[in-house]
Amino acid sequence: MQFKKWVGLLALGVSIYLLWEIRQVLLLLFAAVVIATVLNRVVRVLRRLRIKRGLAIAITIALLLLLVFGLFAIILPRFIGQLQNLSALLPGALERLSNIYNWFQGRIPGMGLGESQGVDRLLNEAQALVSSTFGNFFIILNSSINAVVNLLLVVAATVMLLVNPGSYRRTVIVAFPAFYRDRVNEILNKCEHSLVGWFQGTLVGMATIGTLSYIGLLILGVPLPLVNAILAGLLEIIPNVGPVISAIPAILLALLDAPWKGLAVLILYFLIQQLESLILMPILMKQTVSLMPLFTLLSVVIFAALFGLLGLFLSVPLLIVVQTCLQEVLVKDVMDSWQAPRPPSQDQVHQR
């Protein structure tokens, strides 16, 4: 019996090691599952119109491609032009920031960071890093090829999951004991409902943040409003961290015109994020998923540290699945059904 236990522990350790080694592939598969789950809702709507599943899948994918390429065709030319202007303006913005820092340093005694930590040194190191990055052509090429291969893997897995989702779902369910399979099916339904709700809310949030940022930057007269608005909308998918990153280029560009504009852009982004986090997202997510801000922030940090950039973008879907499983399995099925031992009756006490 002791030997069987050691064999079981060894098998568990080997399994965990193998899963960790292929974690990147598993994350790509999880991304495909999330995308297929969302697209399958569209397929179901088309199926209600008595369209065959194969044709419904083709229409869904065609609509998705049409939307993506349509947005690229409309926005990409202006985006590329403004992105080129951004690369030309950023050095001036950084220099302006350095001048503002030097002005404060002259007015406030003891504010200096020291020669080794001065702004000029940091700027020189940043420029050297950029030059080194663009100089490593083969590294960039290899990363680009890997990104394309990963994208093709996600697309292929998404299509396969869409074609016959029931078979893959049954494969997952039969991996559990027979008495628990109905419960697993119910948990999968709740995960699906939460993921679709999160995606819908995030999509509306991204569009709202991008639109409000564009209007606000136009009113303030900040250069390149389209690029900064698209960046703010896209980075909205990364909670807490994304909005901070998206505000940095807009603030730097605003400093090119006047210092007060940098402060105005900071206030603008702060107000937009407060509107999104306190009003918009609670309304959108009320009926689907409820995530505590602290847990959301921790998930971003933890999954980014464990799985890199892909984990950063998938942190919220991963948190949704983990939270749903913990609530349904650990809380409802284990903790809630855990009966406290009953005190002995009087007859039992007398018998003792």
Cβ neighbours, 10 Å, residue 240: 17
Predicted confidence at residue 116, as pLDDT, reads 43
> Which of 314, 272, 309, 15 minimizes the C-alpha distance to 147?
309
> Which of 55, 18, 60, 59 minimizes the C-alpha distance to 36?
60
Q: What is the average per-residue pLDDT within 109-114? A: 49
Q: What is the average per-residue pLDDT within 65-93? A: 68
Least confident stretch, 92-101, 129-138, 224-233: 129-138
Task: Give 291's contacts (C-beta < 8 A, 6+ positions apart).
Answer: 285, 316, 319, 320, 323
pLDDT digits (tens, 9 = 90+) for 235-270: 888 877 788 888 888 887 787 777 788 889 899 999
The rounded distance, in Å, linking the Cα atoms of 303 and 180 is: 29
The rounded distance, in Å, linking the Cα atoms of 1 and 10 is: 14
pLDDT digits (tens, 9 = 90+) for 315-339: 889 999 999 999 888 888 888 777 6
pLDDT at residue 10 tops 70: yes
pLDDT at residue 83 tops 80: no
Q: Which amino acid is at 156?
A: A
Predicted confidence at residue 139, as pLDDT, reads 58
Q: What is the average per-residue pLDDT within 77-96? A: 64
Q: 252-267 burial, b for 16+ CB within 10 Å, e for fewer?
A: bbbbbeeeebbebbee
The rounded distance, in Å, linking the Cα atoms of 258 and 252 is: 10
> Which of 289, 319, 332 minimizes the C-alpha distance to 180?
332
> Which of 209, 214, 331, 177 minimizes the C-alpha distance to 281?
209
Q: What is the average per-residue pLDDT within 110-132? A: 50
More confidently predicted of 80 and 109: 80
Q: Percent of the chain having pLDDT more than 90?
A: 9
- Is the C-alpha dihedral spanning 264, 265, 269, 272 positive or negative? positive
How does the average pLDDT of the chain come out, rounded?
A: 78
The rounded distance, in Å, linking the Cα atoms of 98 and 82 is: 24
Predicted confidence at residue 88, as pLDDT, reads 67
pLDDT digits (tens, 9 = 90+) for 47-66: 888 888 888 888 988 888 88
Task: Name the residue ranges covered by the structural domains of the chain.
Answer: 39-103+142-163, 165-287
Q: pLDDT grade, residue 215 (50/70/90)?
A: very high
